[in-house]
Amino acid sequence: MKIAIAATLVGSAAAFAPTASFGVRNSALNMATEAATEKAFAKLPATVKPGVVTGQALVDLLDAAKEQGYAIPGVNIVGSNSINACMEAAAKYGGPIMVTFSKGGGQFIAGKSLNNDADQASIAGTIAGARHVHEVAKLYGVPVVLHTDHCQKAWLPWIDGLLAASEEHYAKEGFPLFSSHMLDLSEEPLEENIAICKSYLEKFAKIGILLEFELGVTGGEEDGVDNSDVDSSRLYTQPEEVYYAYEQLSQVPNGAFTCAASFGNVHGVYAPGNVDLQPIILYNSQKYIQEKIGSDDDKPMKFVFHGGSGSSVEDIQYAIGAGVIKMNIDTDTQWAFWDGVRAYEAKYRDYLQGQIGNPEGPEKPNKKYYDPRMMLRAGEESMAARLCKAAEDLKCTNVLN
């Protein structure tokens, strides 16, 4: 948008200015255009730059992931510590990262003491977290996708508030505050689910926000979404359902979307044998859509993998082969953060029993040990290390340069 504005100004000036003056302005415009198209990452399209990725750049990034055979870690966060751990990890493993806000996570960022009857705390906290990411993401030198997680029908006012913030941001900056939003209307009939998603996608498309939608149900419980007792048949999406959604959403001009199709995946982590993943469903769905639309692309749908914590590497990479371009991670990273804090406490326990007095002497101060930044940093480092392992499983390492 800024380049377009510059072009208009140059064109207006040319009618009244000497040729030499126009040449200076034209050179400046060419330099700006070249800067915009210069590749920041050797292995990614030129549209993808360090920092928050939105609009066409996000579509190009996800297309690259699908074509090159990797998936991006999508990580639920609860504050600046977990946000920063995500971007630190991405810088270490050399790939993109998706920072994901839940409704509860947004509320936690704003402050749990606040009234949230009308989702005002969830909205404010999610926006505050997103602005933090925009301010620091470029410093990490990686592409960052700003995403929101499961939004049920009753929670749509939360998304409405975030959409309003993105529309305001777009009017000022030329791009939205958020990269993408997930609508989880899987509890509703298929037709209603997709009709609501389509109405939101029409709004999203106008400002370059991608829609993630859910078909079937992801089992288990996560951050206020409890499907622990759902009928097992609803854990498996049918190809006809995926095609119906694809056909309907493809009617939206400039619409971009991904599908969280259920193939037995469950939130949380469980003992081996308790979860029956069937990623073959994703392959079957791709083939069904391809045949229906007569496409040369054998992966017309971009899939996302929910409930990835605790999944085997074999299942993860088999799903990536079916067009999965993002996998959600929450349970494993929550444990990793806590494990870092736990290990810090265990290591310095004798220094954490009082403000004064430790093994080095009864009058020795302990401030540098109980400074909250010390244990929080230990949590960040542990979480970042776990995400680097996740990126290896997702084949998302060294995919920038």
- Give the span between the Cα atoms of 149 and 395, in whole angstroms: 23
- 112: tokens are 């749990």
263 Cβ neighbours under 8 A, 6+ residues apart: 216, 235, 236, 237, 277, 278, 279, 280, 281, 282, 319
- Give the span between the Cα atoms of 10 and 3, in whole angstroms: 10
- Give the span between the Cα atoms of 342 and 383, in whole angstroms: 12
Which residue numbers are catalytic? 149
Q: Which residues pair with 97 in a beta bridge?
A: 144
Q: Nearest CA to 300 among 345, 263, 246?
A: 246
- Give the span between the Cα atoms of 369 and 378, in whole angstroms: 12
The amino acid at residue 27 is S
Torsion of CA 295, 298, 300, 301, to 10 degrees: 150
- Give the span between the Cα atoms of 351 and 348, in whole angstroms: 5
User: Number of helices and strands (H, E) in the chain?
Assistant: 14, 13
The amino acid at residue 347 is K
The amino acid at residue 50 is P
385-400 residues labelled b (16+ CB within 10 A) or e (exposed): bbbbebbebbbbeebb
Are the C-beta atoms of residues 183 and 197 closer than 8 Å to each other? yes
Are the C-beta atoms of residues 269 and 308 closer than 8 Å to each other? no
- Give the span between the Cα atoms of 93 and 387, in whole angstroms: 9
Are the C-beta atoms of residues 258 and 326 closer than 8 Å to each other? yes
261 Cβ neighbours under 8 A, 6+ residues apart: 214, 215, 216, 237, 241, 242, 281, 282, 285, 303
